[in-house]
Amino acid sequence: MIRRTLLLSAGSALAALTIASPALAHIDPDPTEAQAGSTLSVAFTVEHGCDGSPTIQLDMRLPEGVTEASPDPIDGWEGSIDADVVTFVGGPLPDDQEGTFSVTMTLPPTPDTTIYFPFVQRCEVGEIRWIAIPTAGAGDEPEEPAPAMALTGPVATTTAPPTTTAPPTTAPPTTTAASTTTAAAATTVAPTVPGTDAPTSTDLVAVSTDENGSQSTGTWFFVASIAAVLGLGVFVAFRARSARNSRDAN
């Protein structure tokens, strides 16, 4: 009789644990502790559905201070982010199977604090709201707590590697053929005849004036000669005509 009672009690306890196990399951982040300000992929594992109904959507609100968040790819699911809410849609994930969903993010630079990821698990029938945040002084843990992560110090910093700048190179001055020719032409001096001085600009003007004067004198002399010959011819012709007229008159 005693043995039968013990077996019944054990069976009842096992059944109670089996029924209560979904309610006792949590969605904890992996890792549950990380360095403040670090960038990493945080995984969230869904352990069961909604009282036998498969999971089809997950909505998670990012904690304040999280930046550069992006859902990691997962087969059969589509991840997106709108403002501070990350959403996974797809599946369905059967009630008796676990599923892990990851989000890459940069954590807030606030060491020695705890951040929370309120999570709503939506199923074909019903939903579970993992959004409860424990309050200070409360002894009991919430039935459906939000995933929590502890941040540790010091704050992670990303330092870019120093860049080495090559010293400026000074190219030697280049001499082109044109500039060399020009320089040579500029420095060429006309040779001088021994015993004479190089002509100046005044000499060139004087020479030009003398040549022009000589040419003008020769031109006038030629014109005067032509005029004298023509005058003499006219005079001779006039005398010859006068003499002929006199003979005709006699």
DSSP 151-217: EESSPP---PPPPPPPPPP-PPPP--HHHHHHHHHHT------TTSPPP-HHHHHHHHHHHHHHHHH
> Contact at 8 Å (CB) between 121 and 58?
yes
Q: Report phi then psi at 135, rounded to 5.
A: -105, 155
Top pLDDT among 238 and 22 is at: 238
Are residue 141 and residue 248 in the same domain, yes or no? no
Domain assignment of residue 228, yes or no: yes
Domain assignment of residue 182, yes or no: no
Final residue in a domain of this structure, among 103, 125, 152: 152
Are residue 23 and residue 135 in the same domain, yes or no? yes
Domain assignment of residue 25, yes or no: yes
Final residue in a domain of this structure, among 152, 181, 196: 152
For residue 124, the domain's CATH number is 2.60.40.2230
The proportion of the chain whose per-residue pLDDT surpasses 90, expressed as a percent, equals 47
**pLDDT category of residue 59 using cuts at 50, 70 and 90:** very high
DSSP state of 69: E
What residues pair up with 145 in beta bridges, in sequence order? 132
Alpha helix (H) residue ranges in 106-200: 177-186
Q: Is the dihedral of CA 4, 10, 12, 18 positive or negative?
A: negative
Range of the domain at 237: 213-250
Looking at residues 196-206, what average pLDDT do you find? Answer: 43
Q: Among candidates 42, 78, 33, which has minimal Cα distance to 62?
A: 42
Are residue 230 and residue 145 in the same domain, yes or no? no
Domain assignment of residue 160, yes or no: no
Are residue 146 and residue 221 in the same domain, yes or no? no
Are residue 233 and residue 133 in the same domain, yes or no? no
Please state the domain count of the chain: 2
Final residue in a domain of this structure, among 109, 129, 152: 152
**pLDDT category of residue 205 using cuts at 50, 70 and 90:** very low
Top pLDDT among 242 and 194 is at: 242
Average pLDDT, the chain: 74
Are residue 229 and residue 135 in the same domain, yes or no? no
Are residue 28 and residue 139 in the same domain, yes or no? yes
Are residue 38 and residue 120 in the same domain, yes or no? yes
Are residue 109 and residue 34 in the same domain, yes or no? yes
222 phi-psi bin (left φ>0, alpha ψ -120 to 50, beta other): alpha
Q: Please check the confidence at residue 128 and state whether its pLDDT lies above 80.
A: yes
Domain assignment of residue 107, yes or no: yes
Rounded distance between C-alpha atoms, residue 128 and residue 122, angstroms:
7
Q: What is the dihedral of CA 16, 17, 19, 21, to 10 degrees?
A: 160
The model's pTM? 0.55
Domain assignment of residue 70, yes or no: yes
Are residue 19 and residue 121 in the same domain, yes or no? yes
Are residue 227 and residue 144 in the same domain, yes or no? no
Domain assignment of residue 167, yes or no: no
Domain assignment of residue 111, yes or no: yes
Work out whether strand 119-123 and strand 113-116 pair parallel, antiparallel, or are unpaired: unpaired
Are residue 133 and residue 245 in the same domain, yes or no? no
